[in-house]
Amino acid sequence: MQKKLAVISAMAGYGRASITVSLPIISYLGVQCCPIPTSILSNNTGFPQFFFDDYTDRMPEYIKNWKQLGFSFDGIVTGFLGSARQIQIVQEFIREFANEKTHIMIDPVMGDHGKLYSTYTEEMCQEMKQLVSLADITTPNLTECCKLTDTPFKEIGWKKKELFQMAEKLSALGPEKIVITGIPQGEFIANYIFEKGKEPKWIRTHKVGTERCGTGDVFSSIIAADSINEVPFDKSVKKASAFVKKCILKSMELEIPKTDGVCFEEILFQLKRN
């Protein structure tokens, strides 16, 4: 039977983000992508205006139908969640659908550059800690990792010992595999890889271009699909990092507006499946 991955995130019709990024990448990697929309947007929020429909009240019935039909999944991955209630619904979904073989990955999309998103409340932060405790894999950036571990944030100057201590704190919540993303190191951007029982690793790439919507979704989609395909975690992080860089370079080459996200379609064939 083909492997299936439940993807719980927002749906933006234009400007590559969330499900519109996850679905083609996960599918290309040979895994059936089964979305649960948390909200519907006409386009991503980088544009000056957008239509937004909150799907929170519809999610329980949507999920209930899956339960009644006996659907099962090899993996569950989450993206942006817009309220404490949504995070609680996802917790309930994991408890109902996951078993000891289910790969659970939580991308705690909470903020960046030392600041939480304006929609995030302290209640949501506490609920996110509970959600991360159910994960096998989590992929926080520096801001999110600091918030989840109650660590003071700093933009630069991170030492290996500090990152290890932070990863250990996060792992104590539940996840066995952690990658702390987007660590500035001069002309490089680094990802810190932590796996219980293994020596931590660094993956570094040269900075290119500017930040774009959807790069995190590209990264997390590859990690989630690879986990189901049993790709070693460090190999998967290296592959995802390299592919995101290629996508940014291609976007620059084609002069894709920043609001339109990252151009992955042109080079998807270059993404290795193992």
The answer to whether residues 3 and 30 touch, using CB atoms and an 8 Å cutoff, is yes
Whether residue 273 is predicted with pLDDT greater than 90 in this model: the reply is no
* DSSP label of 130: H
What are φ and ψ of residue 267, in 5° steps?
A: -125, 15
Distance of CA 147 to the CA centre of its chain: 16
Q: What is the mean pLDDT of residues 182-206?
A: 94
pLDDT at 274: 78
Confidence grade of residue 24 (pLDDT, cut at 50, 70, 90): very high
What is the Cα–Cα distance from 29 to 76, expressed in whole angstroms?
Answer: 15
DSSP state of 57: G
Q: Around Cβ 181, how many Cβ atoms within 10 Å?
A: 25
Q: How far apart are CA 122 and CA 42, in angstroms?
A: 28
Mean per-residue pLDDT, 182-207: 93
- Predicted local confidence at residue 209, as pLDDT: 84
- Residue 69's pLDDT is 98
- Distance between CA atoms of 4 and 56, rounded to whole angstroms? 23
Residue 210 — very low, low, confident or very high, per pLDDT cuts 50/70/90? confident
CA–CA distance, 135 with 196 (Å, rounded to integer) = 13
How high is the pLDDT of residue 112?
Answer: 92
Euclidean distance between CA atoms 22 and 74, whole angstroms? 16
State pLDDT tens for residues 53-69.
999 999 999 999 999 99
DSSP code at position 263: -
Domain boundaries, given as residue ranges, for the chain: 4-270
Mean pLDDT in the chain? 95
| CATH fold label, 4-270 | UDP-N-acetylmuramoyl-L-alanine:D-glutamate ligase (3.40.1190)
Provide DSSP, 213-257.
TTHHHHHHHHHHHHHHTT--HHHHHHHHHHHHHHHHHHHHHTT--
User: Taking residues 1-25, what's their average pLDDT?
Assistant: 95
User: What does the pLDDT look like over 144-168, one tens digit per residue?
Assistant: 999 999 999 999 999 999 999 999 9
C-alpha–C-alpha distance, residues 151 and 172, integer Å = 14
Residue 1 predicted with pLDDT over 90 = no
In this model, does residue 86 exceed pLDDT 90? yes
Can you tell me the distance from the alpha carbon of 176 to that of 156, in angstroms, rounded to the nearest whole number?
Answer: 26
Question: Does position 126 have pLDDT exceeding 90, yes or no?
Answer: yes
